[in-house]
A = this chain, B = another copy of it.
């Protein structure tokens, strides 16, 4: 994974694309989409590595933070899936793994007999704080990126998320 190529493979692909399919082909879009894939892959690897010593994956960490930031430290499973933007069965899966580690507890929803609440435990909060410190220490994988570039990126990505329909406003 840590092989440094003597050229930018995506830049090269972009040129090949243009020559093969002509200037009408969306080669800028191709290069950008591929870049997002690659940067995310690298980022996730860094984030996962940072929280791994605390017995977490980044996905589980996100679930813990979501609960920690919730009003009573608990949310219905449906909300967990919705806010993490994952499949309901994936939410079940993640919460079950957190529960088996004692970081989360499951309780019936008093407001809805069909529902289940995921509740963060004190141990879970502790673990979340430790993992957060680890992520802060590596600047969430963006230590090499300047403040200016970060903010620019943040604005661009926010526009994209909004256009994709993640949120209204």
Contacts and interface: CB of A to CB of B under 8 A. Distances in A.
A79 to B, nearest CB: 10
Interface string A17-47: 0001100011011111111111111111001
Interface residues of A, number: 73
Per DSSP, chain A at the interface is: helix
B36 A167 contact: no
B153 A4 contact: no
B32 A153 contact: yes
Interface string A56-70: 000000100100010
A157 B83 CA distance: 26
Contacts of A132: 21
Interface stretch (A92-100, A108-116, A137-145): A137-145
Contact of A36 (B3, B40, B168): B40
Contact of A159 (B10, B37, B149, B151): B149
Given A35-B154, A39-B157, 9 more contacts: A1-B85, A4-B165, A28-B147, A29-B143, A31-B154, A32-B142, A42-B164, A144-B160, A145-B159
A18 B139 CA distance: 14
A140 B30 contact: yes
A2 interface: yes
Contacts of A28: 147, 150-151, 154
A169 B35 contact: no
A54 interface: no
Contact of A166 (B5, B140, B147, B157): B5
